[in-house]
Chain A
Amino acid sequence: MTEVLRSAAMPRSTVRRKARWQRQAGRIFVAAIRQVFFLLLIVWSLVPILFIVISSFKRQTEIFAYPPSLFFEPTLQHYISLWTSWDAFFPTMINSAIISVSATALTCVICLMSGFVYSRYSSAFLGLSAVYLIAIRLLPPIVITLPLFPVVNALGLSDTHMVLVLLYTAFWVSICTMIMKTFIDEIPRSIDEAAAVDGASTLQLLWRVVAPMALQGLAACAIFVFVFSWNEYLFALIFTTTDAKTTPLIIAEVMDTPAGTNWGVLFAGVTIQLIPSTLLVVLTQRYLIAGLTAGSVKG
Chain B
Amino acid sequence: MAELHLTDLRKSYGAVEVVHGIDIHVADGAFVVLVGPSGCGKSTILRMIAGLEDITSGMMSFDGEDVRDLTPKERNVAMVFQDYALYPHMSVAKNIGFGLSLAGVGRAEREAAVLETARILQIEQLLDRKPRALSGGQRQRVAIGRAMVRSPSVFLFDEPLSNLDAKLRAEMRAQIKRLHKQLGVTSVYVTHDQLEAMTLADKIVCLKDGYVAQAGTPHELYRKPRTTFVAEFIGSPAMNLIPADLVQDGATKQISIAGQSIVAPPEVEGRAPGPIILGLRPEHVSDTALPGGQTLDVDVDLLEPIGSEILLTTQLGVHSFTIRCEDHGQFVSGAALKAHFSTENLHCFDPETGLRLDAEAREVAA
- Contact with B85, one of A194, A200, A212 (Cβ below 8 angstroms): A194
Contact between chains at B52 and A198 (CB < 8 Å): no
Contact between chains at B103 and A199 (CB < 8 Å): yes
B99 within 8 A of A: yes
Contact between chains at B79 and A197 (CB < 8 Å): yes
Given contacts A190-B81, A191-B85, A209-B87, contact A196 B102 (CB under 8 A): no
Q: Which residue of chain A has the shortest Cβ distance to B71 in the bound complex?
A: A196
Cα-based distance from A198 to B146 in the complex (angstroms): 8
Measured between C-beta atoms, what is the minimum distance from A199 to chain B in Å? 4
Measured between C-beta atoms, what is the minimum distance from B156 to chain A in Å? 8
Given contacts A212-B89, A213-B89, contact A198 B81 (CB under 8 A): no
Cα-based distance from A199 to B75 in the complex (angstroms): 10
Cα-based distance from A212 to B95 in the complex (angstroms): 14
Cα-based distance from A193 to B85 in the complex (angstroms): 8
Cα-based distance from A196 to B50 in the complex (angstroms): 10
Contact between chains at B79 and A193 (CB < 8 Å): yes
* A199 partner residues in chain B, CB cutoff 8 A: 72-73, 99, 102-103, 150
A241 within 8 A of B: no
Measured between C-beta atoms, what is the minimum distance from B107 to chain A in Å? 16
Contact between chains at B78 and A190 (CB < 8 Å): no
- Contact with A190, one of B72, B83, B88, B103 (Cβ below 8 angstroms): B83
Contact between chains at A198 and B102 (CB < 8 Å): yes
Contact between chains at B83 and A196 (CB < 8 Å): no
Measured between C-beta atoms, what is the minimum distance from A206 to chain B in Å? 13
A188 within 8 A of B: yes
Contact between chains at A198 and B89 (CB < 8 Å): no
Measured between C-beta atoms, what is the minimum distance from B109 to chain A in Å? 16
B77 within 8 A of A: yes
Contact between chains at B88 and A197 (CB < 8 Å): no
Q: Which residue of chain B has the shortest Cβ distance to A189 in the bound complex?
A: B85
Cα-based distance from A195 to B146 in the complex (angstroms): 11
Interface residues of A in 201-245 (CB under 8 A from B): 204, 208-209, 212-213, 215
Cα-based distance from A188 to B77 in the complex (angstroms): 21
Interface residues of B in 43-94 (CB under 8 A from A): 50-52, 71-73, 77-79, 81-83, 85-89
- Contact with A193, one of B52, B86, B99, B150 (Cβ below 8 angstroms): B52
- Contact with A197, one of B78, B82, B103 (Cβ below 8 angstroms): B78
Measured between C-beta atoms, what is the minimum distance from B199 to chain A in Å? 25
Measured between C-beta atoms, what is the minimum distance from B172 to chain A in Å? 18
- Chain B CB within 10 Å — which of A193, A196, A209 has the most? A193
Measured between C-beta atoms, what is the minimum distance from A223 to chain B in Å? 20
* A212 partner residues in chain B, CB cutoff 8 A: 89
Contact between chains at A188 and B85 (CB < 8 Å): yes
B341 within 8 A of A: no
Measured between C-beta atoms, what is the minimum distance from B260 to chain A in Å? 53
* A191 partner residues in chain B, CB cutoff 8 A: 85, 87
Q: Which residue of chain A has the shortest Cβ distance to B77 in the bound complex?
A: A197
* B99 partner residues in chain A, CB cutoff 8 A: 197-199
Q: Give the secondary structure class of B's interface.
A: loop
- Chain B CB within 10 Å — which of A193, A194, A197 has the most? A197
Contact between chains at A196 and B85 (CB < 8 Å): no
* B31 partner residues in chain A, CB cutoff 8 A: none
B189 within 8 A of A: no
Q: Which residue of chain B has the shortest Cβ distance to A204 in the bound complex?
A: B102
Cα-based distance from A190 to B207 in the complex (angstroms): 23
The proximity string for B residues 87-124 relative to A, scoring 1 for CB distances below 8 Å and 0 otherwise, is 11100000000110011000000000000000000000
Q: Which residue of chain A has the shortest Cβ distance to B73 in the bound complex?
A: A199
* B85 partner residues in chain A, CB cutoff 8 A: 188, 190-191, 193-194
- Chain B CB within 10 Å — which of A196, A198, A213, A215 has the most? A198
Measured between C-beta atoms, what is the minimum distance from A219 to chain B in Å? 14
* B88 partner residues in chain A, CB cutoff 8 A: 213
Cα-based distance from A199 to B103 in the complex (angstroms): 7
Measured between C-beta atoms, what is the minimum distance from B66 to chain A in Å? 20
Measured between C-beta atoms, what is the minimum distance from A198 to chain B in Å? 4
Given contacts A196-B52, A197-B50, contact A188 B83 (CB under 8 A): yes
Measured between C-beta atoms, what is the minimum distance from B118 to chain A in Å? 17
* B103 partner residues in chain A, CB cutoff 8 A: 199
* B78 partner residues in chain A, CB cutoff 8 A: 197
Interface residues of A in 178-194 (CB under 8 A from B): 188, 190-191, 193-194
Given contacts A190-B81, A204-B102, contact A197 B87 (CB under 8 A): no
Q: Which residue of chain B has the shortest Cβ distance to A211 in the bound complex?
A: B89
Cα-based distance from A200 to B42 in the complex (angstroms): 25
Cα-based distance from A208 to B81 in the complex (angstroms): 19
Measured between C-beta atoms, what is the minimum distance from A203 to chain B in Å? 11
Q: List 15 A-B contacts (CB under 8 A).
A: A188-B83, A190-B82, A194-B86, A194-B146, A196-B51, A197-B51, A197-B72, A198-B98, A198-B146, A198-B150, A199-B102, A200-B73, A200-B102, A204-B102, A208-B98
When A and B form their complex, which 3 residue pairs have the shortest distance between CB atoms, in order from nearest?
Answer: A199-B73, A198-B99, A194-B85
List residues of chain A with CB under 8 Å of any chain B CB: 188, 190-191, 193-200, 204, 208-209, 212-213, 215
List residues of chain B with CB under 8 Å of any chain A CB: 50-52, 71-73, 77-79, 81-83, 85-89, 98-99, 102-103, 146, 150
Task: Please name 17 further chain A to chain B contacts, defined as beta carbons within 8 Å, in addition to the given A195-B87, A195-B98, sorted by A numbering.
Answer: A188-B85, A190-B85, A191-B85, A193-B79, A193-B85, A194-B79, A196-B51, A197-B77, A197-B79, A198-B73, A198-B99, A198-B102, A198-B146, A199-B72, A199-B73, A199-B103, A213-B89
